[in-house]
C-alpha cells in the first residue's frame, strides 16, 4: 500500500550533524541543497549549532523559529564514554541491587586473568532494593507496601541524586509496582527512567543497564536540548535506529540517541544506493575522530538490540554499526616497542591536526598534506587554510622517532606513507569484522565512502578487501547531515510475550501488535502525521526453546516456525526442525513518512573530462603527476583515470594509479578500484 509523505516544502528544513572536528549543515532553500561546515565546539556543541543555524536563517531570509531542524548528536555518546553523566539512584527489587556489578559471566578478554572492569554507573550506596516480588508469569508473591514507598521517598531525597532509574523484577509483565513508585517519586521533581516504559523486555541485566544509561544521560541531554529549543523550537533528533523523534522525546529517552550521528550517515548512504539501484553496500564514514562502518544487503538497514557501548549493554534498537578510533585527526606515535601506532587518540577540533596551525601533533590529515593529496588547496573549498610547513614539522618529528626505533633513516615522506598504511589497516579490520567475519563476501558489495576523510582512503581500503567498486556520493562530507534531514519519524516498541509458535499464539500475537500500533498511531498523530502518512512494520524475536538468544523475523503474518527454521539455517548453517520454536518478543517499528528531497540529475556532456590542474603528489611511495578535477564541473557520462585528485567543498577524493572513474546520472563518482 502506498503511503503519502508529509509535505514540508513550505518550511526551511535543516539537517545538522555534530562531529568531533566539524559540525555539518545541509538545508533546502528554493529547491536546492546547500551545505557548509563550522568547527565544532566540543565544550558545548550547541554553540556551533546556534551559530550555523543563525547563518542559515539569515541566508534564507527567515527567523530561527521558522526553521525545521533535525539533529544528529554525539552528546550522549561522549558523555557515556567519558563518564560525565548524572549522579544516580537505582531502585530495584530487594536482592537484585548488584545485578549491574555481576553482569554476565562472559569475560571481556578471554585469556586475561587480570582484566579490570569499569565500575557500574551507580555506586553501591545508591542502589536501593524495595521489598516486592513478581514472578515471570505476573503473579504477585510480595506486594509493595505503602510504608516501603514512603521510606524509599525519604531515602532518595536525602541522597540528592540528579536522576532516578527504576527497574523491578518482571515489571514488563506486571508494571503496577513500578507505576506506584514512579507516582510517589515524581514529587521529587527529578528525571525518572522507568523500565516498563523504556524497555518492556526480559533479561534483567540488559534491561537494568539500558534504563540506568537512560537516567545517566537524562539531565545532560535535557539541558542541552533545552538550550537548543529555546532558539529553535522546531527541533527533532536522530535516533540510533535510523529514525527521528521530537526533542522532548529525545530528552526523556536519550538512550535511543547513543549512535545518533553515525545512524544519519547510514540513512544517507541508503538513499544514495537506492537512487543508484544498488542493494549490497558497505558504508564507510570516516570523519575527524572515528570511522563508522555498516553493511546493508537486500534486507536493508540492519538493526540490533544487543549493542554494547563503553562495555555496557544497550538493549534498545540501534543500527548495527561498528566504530574504530581512526579519523582525519587520529594522532600517530611510536610506542614503547618501536611500533607505529595511529589513534584512537584524536586531535579533534581544538587544537586539531598540526596543519590547522595550533599544535604539532602528527595526524592522518597532516600525512595527506605532506603527500600533496589536497591538490595544493585548503579544506572547505580553500576557505580553511592549511599550514603546510607545520604539517611537515610534525611529520619530521614522527620520522625522527621512527628512525630511532628502526635504527635506519626514515624520511618525512616515508613516515607519512607509513602513517596512512597503519590507519588503512585499522579500517580494513573494521570492514572485515562486519563482512568476512559474518559470512559476507566483500567482492559482492560496493563501498560507499563519506565523511570528510572517506574519499581519501576509500580506494586503498577497497583494494585491500577486493571490493571491486567504490561509489562516491554527492556532498560526501555532509552525507550524515543529509541523512538526518531525510529520515522519517520513527517510534520503536517491543513487548516480551514468551509464546510457543503456533496458530493459537499467532492469533494472540496479532492482538499485541494491534495494541502497539494503536499507541504508535496516537504518537505519530500528535507529531502531525495522518494515518495515510504512517507505516507500521511488525517483527518478532524468536528462538528454539532453551536457546539463550533470538533471531529477528521481519515477516510475521503466519507460519512463524517455518520462517524461523529458514532464518536459523541462513544464519548458522543448520536448522533443528524437530525443536519447538518460541516467540520471545513482539516488535513494531512505526514511521511517520517525511517527504523525500529529490536528487537532481547531473548535466550530461559528450566531451572528454577536462583537467583543472596538475599537482605533484605521492601514491604508494612514488612521486607522480596527478590530475586535479573540481567536482562541481564534472558532468554525467564523463570518465577519467588515476592518478587524480577530485576537490570539492566538503571532501577530497583520491583516485590512485590504476583506478578509473565514471560520473553517474546523479553526479556520483563510480570508481573501478582496479581500473
Summarised one tens digit per residue, pLDDT across range 312-355 is: 899 988 888 988 888 898 999 999 889 999 988 888 777 889 99
Per-residue pLDDT for 188 more than 80?
A: yes
- pLDDT greater than 80 at residue 21: no
> Would you state the pLDDT for residue 11?
72
Of 198, 216, 234, which residue sits at a domain end?
A: 216
pLDDT, average across residues 378-385: 80
367 within a domain of the structure (yes/no): no
37 inside domain: yes
User: Is the pLDDT reported for residue 374 higher than 70?
Assistant: yes
Average pLDDT over residues 19-37: 82
Per DSSP, the three-state class of 168 is coil
Domain that holds residue 567: 489-592
Same domain flag for 127 and 227: no
* Position 243 in a domain: yes
Q: Give 95-122 pLDDT, tens digit per residue.
A: 999 999 998 877 777 788 887 788 999 9
d(CA 182, CA 219) in angstroms, rounded, equals: 17
Residue 2, pLDDT above cutoff 70: no
Judged against a pLDDT cut of 70, whether residue 608 lies above it is answered with: no
Q: What is the pLDDT of the chain when averaged over all its residues?
A: 89
pLDDT in tens, 506-537: 888 889 999 999 999 998 998 888 899 999 99
* End-to-end CA, the chain: 43
Confidence of residue 9 (pLDDT cuts 50, 70, 90): very low
DSSP string for 622-675: EEEEEEEEEGGG--BT-EEESSEEEE-SS-EEEE-TT-EEEE-TTS-EEEETT-
The stretch 485-492 carries a mean pLDDT of 89
Check which CATH number belongs to the domain holding 584 and give it: 3.30.1490
Q: Is the pLDDT of residue 265 over 60?
A: yes
C-alpha 628/C-alpha 236 separation (Å) is: 39
Residue 80 pLDDT more than 60?
yes
Q: Is 95 a member of any domain?
A: yes
Specify whether the CB–CB gap between 459 and 472 falls below 8 A.
no
Split at pLDDT 50, 70, 90, the class of 645 is: very high
* Cβ pair 8, 595 in contact under 8 A: yes
Please determine, for residue 491, whether its predicted confidence score (pLDDT) is greater than 70. Answer: yes
Output the pLDDT for position 285: 92
Q: Is the pLDDT of residue 20 over 80?
A: no
Q: What's the number of domains the chain is made of?
A: 4
119, 32: one domain: no
Inside any domain, residue 453: no
In a domain, 388, yes or no: no
Kindly indicate the confidence band of residue 605, based on its pLDDT and cuts at 50, 70 and 90.
low
Provide the pLDDT confidence category of residue 301 given band limits of 50, 70 and 90: confident
Given pLDDT bands bounded at 50, 70 and 90, which one contains residue 8? very low
Rounded mean pLDDT, 564-584: 90
Residues 208 and 91 both lie in one domain: yes
- CA 401 and chain centroid, separation: 36
Note whether residue 276 is domain-resident: no
Confidence label for 31 from pLDDT (cuts 50, 70 and 90): low
pTM of the model: 0.86
Identify the pLDDT of residue 5. Answer: 54
Residue 532 belongs to some domain of the structure: yes
**68 pLDDT more than 50:** yes
| Coil, strand or helix at 343 | strand
Quickly count: other Cβ atoms within 10 Å of residue 588's Cβ: 21
Set of cell numbers at residue 84: 560525565
The predicted pLDDT at position 165 comes to: 97
Cβ-count burial 2-40 (b if 16+ within 10 Å, e if not): eeebbeeeeebbbbbbbbbbbbbbbbbeeeebbbbbbbb
* pLDDT exceeds cutoff 80 at 300: no
Among candidates 665, 662, 633, which has minimal Cα distance to 649? 633
Q: Work out the average pLDDT over 7-20.
A: 75
- Which are the contacts of 471, defined by CB distance < 8 A and separation ≥ 6? 272, 273, 276, 278, 281, 446, 447, 448, 664, 668, 669, 670, 671
**Among 151, 291, 244, which residue's Cα sits nearest to residue 489?**
244
Amino acid at each position: 500500500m502506498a503511503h503519502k509523505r508529509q509535505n514540508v516544502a513550505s518550511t526551511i528544513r535543516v539537517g545538522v550533524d555534530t562531529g568531533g572536528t566539524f559540525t555539518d549543515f545541509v538545508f533546502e532553500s528554493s529547491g536546492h541543497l546547500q551545505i557548509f561546515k563550522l568547527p565544532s565546539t566540543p565544550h558545548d556543541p550547541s554553540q556551533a549549532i546556534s551559530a550555523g543555524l543563525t547563518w542559515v536563517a539569515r541566508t534564507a531570509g527567515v527567523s530561527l523559529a521558522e526553521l525545521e531542524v533535525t539533529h544528529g548528536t554525539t552528546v550522549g555518546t561522549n558523555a557515556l564514554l567519558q563518564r560525565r553523566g548524572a549522579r544516580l539512584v537505582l531502585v530495584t527489587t530487594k536482592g537484585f541491587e548488584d545485578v549491574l556489578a555481576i553482569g554476565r559471566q562472559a569475560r571481556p578478554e578471554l585469556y586475561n586473568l587480570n582484566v579490570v572492569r569499569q565500575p557500574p554507573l551507580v555506586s553501591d550506596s545508591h542502589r536501593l532494593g524495595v521489598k516486592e516480588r513478581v514472578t515471570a508469569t505476573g503473579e504477585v508473591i510480595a506486594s509493595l507496601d505503602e510504608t516501603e514507598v514512603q521510606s524509599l521517598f525519604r531515602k532518595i531525597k536525602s541522597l540528592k541524586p540528579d536522576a532516578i532509574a527504576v527497574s523491578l523484577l518482571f515489571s514488563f509483565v506486571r508494571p503496577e509496582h513500578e507505576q506506584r513508585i514512579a507516582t510517589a517519586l515524581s514529587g521529587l521533581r527529578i528525571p525518572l527512567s522507568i523500565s516498563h516504559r523504556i524497555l518492556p523486555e526480559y533479561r534483567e541485566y540488559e534491561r537494568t543497564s539500558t534504563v540506568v544509561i537512560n537516567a545517566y544521560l537524562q539531565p545532560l541531554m535535557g539541558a542541552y536540548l533545552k538550550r537548543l529549543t529555546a532558539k529553535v523550537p522546531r527541533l527533532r533528533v536522530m535516533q540510533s535506529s535510523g529514525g527521528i523523534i521530537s526533542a522532548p522525546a529525545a530528552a526523556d529517552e536519550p538512550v535511543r540517541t547513543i549512535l545518533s550521528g553515525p545512524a544519519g550517515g547510514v540513512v544517507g548512504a541508503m538513499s544514495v544506493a537506492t537512487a543508484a539501484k544498488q542493494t549490497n553496500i558497505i558504508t564507510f564514514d570516516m570523519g575527524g575522530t572515528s570511522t563508522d562502518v555498516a553493511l546493508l544487503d537486500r534486507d536493508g538497514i540492519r538493526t540490533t538490540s544487543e549493542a554494547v557501548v563503553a562495555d555496557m549493554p544497550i538493549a534498545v534498537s540501534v543500527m548495527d554499526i561498528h566504530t574504530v578510533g581512526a579519523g582525519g585527526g587520529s594522532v600517530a606515535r611510536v610506542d614503547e616497542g618501536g611500533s607505529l601506532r595511529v589513534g584512537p587518540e584524536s586531535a579533534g577540533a581544538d587544537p586539531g591536526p598540526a596543519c590547522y596551525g595550533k599544535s604539532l601533533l602528527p595526524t592522518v590529515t597532516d600525512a595527506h598534506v605532506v603527500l600533496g593529496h589536497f591538490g595544493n588547496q585548503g579544506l572547505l573549498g580553500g576557505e580553511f587554510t592549511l599550514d603546510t610547513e607545520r604539517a611537515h614539522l610534525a611529520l619530521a618529528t614522527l620520522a625522527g622517532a621512527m628512525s630511532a626505533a628502526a635504527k635506519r633513516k626514515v624520511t618525512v615522506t616515508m613516515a607519512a606513507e607509513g602513517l596512512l598504511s597503519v590507519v588503512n589497516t585499522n579500517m580494513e579490520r573494521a570492514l572485515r569484522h562486519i563482512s568476512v567475519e559474518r559470512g559476507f563476501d566483500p567482492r559482492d558489495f560496493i563501498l560507499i565512502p563519506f565523511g570528510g576523510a572517506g574519499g581519501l582512503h576509500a580506494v586503498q581500503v577497497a583494494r585491500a578487501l577486493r571490493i571491486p567498486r567504490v561509489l562516491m556520493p554527492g556532498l560526501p562530507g555532509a552525507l550524515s547531515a543529509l541523512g538526518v534531514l531525510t529520515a522519517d519519524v520513527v517510534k520503536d516498541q517491543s513487548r516480551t510475550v514468551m509464546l510457543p509458535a503456533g496458530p493459537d499464539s499467532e492469533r494472540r500475537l496479532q492482538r499485541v501488535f494491534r495494541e502497539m500500533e494503536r499507541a504508535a498511531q496516537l504518537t505519530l498523530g500528535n507529531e502531525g502525521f495522518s494515518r495515510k502518512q504512517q507505516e507500521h512494520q511488525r517483527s518478532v524475536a524468536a528462538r528454539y526453546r532453551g536457546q539463550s538468544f533470538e533471531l529477528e523475523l521481519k515477516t510475521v503474518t503466519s507460519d512463524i516456525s517455518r520462517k524461523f527454521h529458514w532464518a536459523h539455517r541462513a544464519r548458522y548453517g543448520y536448522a533443528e526442525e524437530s525443536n519447538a520454536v518460541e516467540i520471545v518478543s513482539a516488535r513494531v517499528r512505526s514511521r511517520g513518512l517525511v517527504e523525500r528531497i529529490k536528487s537532481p540529475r547531473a548535466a550530461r556532456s559528450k566531451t572528454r573530462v577536462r583537467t583543472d590542474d596538475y599537482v605533484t603528489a605521492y601514491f604508494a611511495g612514488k612521486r607522480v603527476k596527478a590530475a586535479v578535477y573540481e567536482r562541481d564541473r564534472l558532468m554525467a557520462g564523463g570518465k577519467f583515470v588515476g592518478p587524480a585528485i577530485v576537490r570539492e567543498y566538503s571532501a577530497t577524493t583520491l583516485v590512485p594509479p590504476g583506478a578509473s572513474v565514471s560520473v553517474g546520472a546523479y553526479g556520483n563518482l563510480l570508481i573501478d578500484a582496479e581500473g
